[in-house]
Amino acid sequence: MTDTSQEPERRFVDGRWLCYDGVNNTFLEYTDGEWKDAKEENSQLKEKWDQAQSTSTAVGTSTLTSASRSTVDGTASGQEVQRCEVNGVQMVWNNATQQWLPEVDVDEDFLAVYNATYGVNYDYDSMPKPEPTKSSNDKVTEKDVPLTKEERRAKKRELEKQPVAWVDIEDDKNTNVYVSGLPSTITEEQFTEFMTKCGIIMKDPRSGKPKIKLYRTETGDPKGDGTCCYVKMESVQLALQILDGWDLDGHKVHVERAKFELKGAFDPSKKKKKLTVAQKKKFFENQQRLFEWKPEKPRNYRPICECTVVLKNMFTLNEIDENAARILDLKEEVQELCARFGTVKKVTVYDTNPEGVVTVTFESVEHSDTAVSMLNGRLVGGRLIEASLWDGKAKFKRQETQEERERRERAWQGFLGSGEQEDEEKEHDSDNGETEFEKQPAEQTTNKT
């Protein structure tokens, strides 16, 4: 490390740093992080140089005597601190950051000026007070003592012994509204459509139906009142503001918060079982999915299921029973036939379907559209083929009955038996040393004689 006293002298002139090179009698200017030759003439810079204050002798130097000051200034103890004054601000050179920083002594006067300029007035009366710390003289309550494993089990058994009863819903969590003044001819669908004006109706996690109820008479006719359970509390506020006083088919509707009261004795058999953790998680996920934003599908959107073409009347069950290998042959034939219209990804033969269904999945909907237009109404093997796009819901795999299973197994055993018989005949002929080609001339000679 070189001594700072031997370095070229630097001065702050006209908002920039200049350095005088006495060897070459030139001035250097510090720009873009490096020293470059000054563009002005030396005579002009010399006058400004003499008027400026030296960075090493402007205010004087002082040695660092404390570890904290050396950390702030970025200089080691024993080195001189370089200072200068820029626009009335005292600056000090920091070797750690290699830049000039304002030198400020943080004292009471500085803090007073800073708080007066940038400080924030706190209202300490409105701020929450800290909880008082417990001293050794404070009494220890039962709640403060942690329970042992046996005590927790005993407490759980006591809770199980308590009689089961209805649980009251808190007002800030009650999203049920009571609606009266409804027409006597209203249906559940109409009531659901009417209440949906103010929000999404919650669905029952077990049945998946909307949680609405129309109170009826003994004969089953609506009384004109009912309840509705929303998902969000904001929907309750909207229903009270908008639907209350609504004219529905000449009837003035009244909406209020629902209050439930227990009539008669509690019947534990009517209380529904609690949902499991997995059921609760699935229910809340489906509920949250209702509020998710989904972008609109483009006008030319085609579902992926339309890449599959459904071909009907391709075979009969009797053909499959007589020759089980017909399934593989039919699959190859359809693969070869549909390859003319585009790339075929999969061919499936539903051998138990009485309609003779074969599905073909193409790579794109353009290929499937071409296949439908070319194959629908076409005669194949004397049968009229019906071709259509799959709607994504229809199921073609049919569960066969016991009678059909037995019939298919008998046909399969017959197919295997015929194959074994042919193999035995071939083995017998080979044992006799005769082949089909040797038999034919012998038969011809016998006929001639």
Report pLDDT for 404.
Answer: 74
Q: How far apart are CA 202 and CA 230, in angstroms?
A: 5
**Ramachandran angles phi, psi of 290, nearest 5°:** -65, -25
pLDDT of the residue at 370: 94
Give the Cα separation of 50 and 29 in Å (integer): 16
Query: What's residue 27's pLDDT?
Result: 80
Q: Tens of pLDDT along the chain (449 residues)?
A: 444 445 667 777 776 777 877 777 778 887 776 777 777 777 777 877 777 654 444 433 333 333 334 434 444 445 567 777 776 667 888 777 667 777 766 667 766 766 666 555 556 566 566 666 655 555 555 555 677 888 888 877 776 666 555 556 677 788 999 999 999 899 999 999 999 999 999 988 888 889 999 999 988 889 999 999 999 999 999 999 999 999 998 899 999 998 877 666 666 666 677 778 888 888 888 888 888 777 777 888 899 999 999 999 999 888 877 787 888 999 999 999 999 999 999 999 998 888 999 999 999 999 999 999 999 998 877 889 999 999 999 999 887 778 777 877 777 777 677 655 555 555 555 555 544 434 444 444 444 43
Give 268's Cβ-side CA count (13 Å radius): 4
- Residue 399 tokens, joined: 């569960």
How crowded is the C-beta side of 414, counted as CA atoms within 13 Å? 11
For residue 98, what are the CA distances in angstroms to 75, 235, 378?
Answer: 11, 62, 87
Contact 264, 160 (CB under 8 A): no
Quickly list DSSP for 323-361: -TTHHHHHHHHHHHHHTTTS-EEEEEE-TT-TT--EEEE
| Residue position matching structure tokens 């011809």 | 444
Quote the pLDDT of residue 384. 92
| Cross-sheet strand order for the sheet of 222-229 | 212-216, 222-229, 176-180, 254-257
Give the CA distances from residue 285 to residues 68, 227, 278, 290, 390, in Å, rounded to whole numbers and listed in that order.
Answer: 57, 25, 11, 9, 30
Three-state DSSP state, 63: strand
The model carries a pTM of 0.38
Q: Which domains does the chain have, with CATH numbers?
A: 4-102 (no CATH), 171-270 (3.30.70.330), 304-389 (3.30.70.330)
Residue 288, token pair as written in the block:
């949250």
What are the strands, taking DSSP E only, across 157-210? 176-180
**How many C-beta neighbours within 10 Å does residue 371 have?**
22
